Structure formats: structure tokens, C-alpha cells
Homo-oligomer: A and B are copies of this chain.
Amino acid sequence: MSNPISQKSLKKLAKLSIHTGLGLEKGQDLIISAPIEALPLVRLVTKEAYKAGAGLVSCFYGDDQMSLLRYKYANDASFDKAPDWLFEGMARAFDNNAARLAIIGDNPMLLAKQDPQKISRVNKAMSKAGTPVRERITAFNVNWNIIAYPSKDWAKLVFPKESEKKAVKKLAKAIFAASRADQKDPIKAWVEHNKILANKSRWLNEQNFASLHFTAKGTDLIVGLADGHEWAGGAAKAKNGITCNANIPSEEVFTTPHAKKVDGYVSSTKPLSHAGTLIDDIKVTFKNGKIIEASASKGEEVLLKLLDTDEGARRIGEVALVPHSSPISKSGILFYNTLFDENASCHIALGQCYSKCFIDGDKISKEEVEAQGGNTSAIHVDWMIGSGEMDIDGITQSGERVPVFRQGEWA
């Protein structure tokens, strides 16, 4: 086989990203970030963007090797540095209505052998420097989208028994399937898919639950929902008026929990790859919304440092429901990448909430978000808690219980 990645599907993914993922409007600039290996996809996306009338397309490439060189050779002082000037510049571009596309595909285990102390310092510096961008993205100021490219190191981690080429072929196929880019008309497939997610959101919004009660082996957790929370899923309108599908793939409906009303314990059901480190078997206990105990069988030091990022890092900013029978879950593939694994499982996110997951979310102020229970933090890290054993009850404002999930499926 010459190229293990179907060029036909790759082209469809590029087109899907521009039209459905971003809904790119004529004249909009586009800022892409991508691993250097994703160059072929960047070029396809660039072509589709210009065909759709883009103003200027810019791409910033990340290079895993360059990251490793830093850990290997840099002075200690380097590990507290981050390109704040770049994030500030990007924020300015978003204020001028540039759209944002992130192509992911980095090696989820890149930093496995590096000093967790240094990793945590880098993560903290990046979180802090990234604030101007993160604020604008989580507030949906502009249309944004994330898609994936099947990089070699990532593929070898997901399919360790295969040759590199075979592994890339399999990962490419899995990405295209999960993204619906292998379908005859992916854009139409997403219109249908968005309808289903919108129906689920509508039902949950009608219920207006006060809280959700998650139970499974290792989990007994009450997640209070923010006052005036709103469920979302699939297509969403950004504040610039453009409807986008931020995550491709996406199988979730999600909303904002109340940062001070989460109690109980919860266990992760899939490993979490965070910035090149694998964190596995997470167990945490919440009291009044705050994590008061946390452990992990792998990557515990990075997890604990992550929780120490700031006040909001020990509280959650997102809760999301995904049935155990989601296509990604059914594929049986563990991607070691949150964009995929979070869409195979119910999940929660440490840190920053999405202000759009409130009624009138496009007009709500930072102060109102906080007053209604929305969390604020320099991090937003999803991790997977769902499984085929999970039951979820919705508890209404009057205290009644409504079955939401039974044995991992919509009740």
C-alpha cells in the first residue's frame, strides 16, 4: 500500500471541517494549529477554506521532537516559559473575527519518560499564557473546530501490534468513521446527527434538573447543575453568529455543573492523555464541589499538580452524557485521545466552564456565570467516567428522581 491514509476521506474531512465544523464565512481569517505531520491535511483544509472565501489562512505547527529537545537540553528556567505574546496575538485575531481550527494528532505518550515536575511547570505556564485564547474559545466568541490526523506515533500507541503503516491505516479509518468523513455525504450525515443531539438537549432542558446522580462501580456522585444551565450538543451558534460544530467527532450532550454543588466519589473508566502524559485509574472525592482527595495509578504527580493550577482546577466546569453504545464506544478502540475517548463515554471536565451552556449564554457576563455556579480556571481537562454499568438519575427541582441512563444507555 502506498499511502495508508485514504485521500478521498481526508479530502472529505477537510471539507467537513470548513463547512460543518467551522461554518467558515466569506472573508473570515482562519488560524490553524497542527502537528507538523498533518501537513497534507492542513493543505487540504487551506484549499477548502480559500474556496469558501477565507481571508487569510495561517497555520502554526507543533513538533513533538522540538518539545522533547526542550526536556532533554533546556536549562531549568525554561520550564516556566510560554509564548504569551503568541496567545495574546491570536486573541487579537479572534477579536477581529478569525475562526480557529485545531488539528490534533500528537503522540499521547510523548512525555512519558520526562520529569513530572517539569511537565507540570510547562502545563501551568501554558495554561496561564493561554488564558486570552481559552477565554475566547470557551465563551464561543468565534466559530471553532477540532479534527484529528492519524499521526504515526499515535497510531502505533493505539495499534501496538501492527506495523507502522498498518497502524496508520487503521487509525485513519477509525478517525474517518468516527468523524463521519467516510460517508457518502458527510455534511448531510452531520445534519442528521445534529438533529438527534438537539433532541436530547431539548429533553434535558425541559427537565431542568437540579442535579444528576451518577452510580457505577467506583462511582457515587451527585453533580449539581448550574442555575440557569442549558444543555448543548452538536451544532452551536457562536457569539459572532456563525453556527459551528466545535468537535468532530462529537456524540455528547453537555452542560455546566454548579462549581460548589458536587459531592461524592468518581472513578475514571478510560486513561486520560493530557499534554503528552497518560493519567490512568483516576479516583477523586468531591465535597461542596471541590476535590478533596485524588489519586491515579499512572501519572498521579501530573494529575495532582494539575489540580493545583488554580482555585478552579479542583472543581468541574462541564458534565457530558454519552451513551455506551455510541459509535466510537462500539468500535472498541481506545484512542488515548480525549476528542475521541470522551465521545465513547460520559465525562466531566476539571476547570473552566462554557458560558454558552447557560440560558442566554451569548449575552451572559463573567460575573453572572460565576454567580450562577459556573467555574473559572486556567484549565479545561475532560476525563471519562462512563461505562456500560453506569446509571444516571436526574433529580428535579422538586426532588423527584427521573431515570436518565440505565446500564450506560439513555433510559
**Residues of chain A having any CB pair with chain B under 8 Å:** 26-27, 29, 36, 39, 42-43, 46-47, 50-51, 53-61, 63, 65-66, 69-70, 72-75, 77-78, 81-83, 85-86, 88-90, 92-93, 96
A77 to B50, CA, bound (A): 11
Residue contact B65 to A43, C-beta cutoff 8 Å: yes
Residue contact B63 to A47, C-beta cutoff 8 Å: no
Residue contact B29 to A81, C-beta cutoff 8 Å: yes
Report the minimal beta-carbon distance from A39 to chain B, rounded to whole angstroms: 7
Q: How many copies does the complex hold?
A: 2
Report the minimal beta-carbon distance from A307 to chain B, rounded to whole angstroms: 25
Report the minimal beta-carbon distance from A271 to chain B, rounded to whole angstroms: 29
Residues of B within 8 A of A43 (CB): 63, 65-66, 69
Residue contact A86 to B89, C-beta cutoff 8 Å: yes
Residue contact B29 to A55, C-beta cutoff 8 Å: no
Q: Apart from A50-B78, A56-B82, what 17 extra A-B contacts exist at CB < 8 Å?
A: A29-B81, A29-B83, A36-B61, A50-B69, A54-B74, A55-B75, A55-B77, A55-B78, A56-B78, A58-B86, A59-B61, A60-B60, A61-B61, A85-B89, A85-B92, A89-B89, A89-B92
Main secondary structure of the interface of A (DSSP, over half): helix
Residue contact A77 to B39, C-beta cutoff 8 Å: no
Residue contact A27 to B77, C-beta cutoff 8 Å: yes
A55 to B81, CA, bound (A): 7
A322 to B11, CA, bound (A): 51
Q: Take A63-B59, A75-B26 as given contacts and tell me if A93 and B85 are in contact as well, using a CB distance cutoff of 8 Å.
A: yes
- List the B residue with the shortest CB-CB distance to A87: B89
Q: Take A61-B36, A73-B51 as given contacts and tell me if A66 and B88 are in contact as well, using a CB distance cutoff of 8 Å.
A: no
Most chain B CB atoms below 10 A, which of A42, A65, A66, A90: A66
A81 to B82, CA, bound (A): 28
- List the B residue with the shortest CB-CB distance to A125: B56
Residues of B within 8 A of A42 (CB): 63, 66
Q: Take A75-B27, A78-B50, A88-B92 as given contacts and tell me if A56 and B83 are in contact as well, using a CB distance cutoff of 8 Å.
A: yes
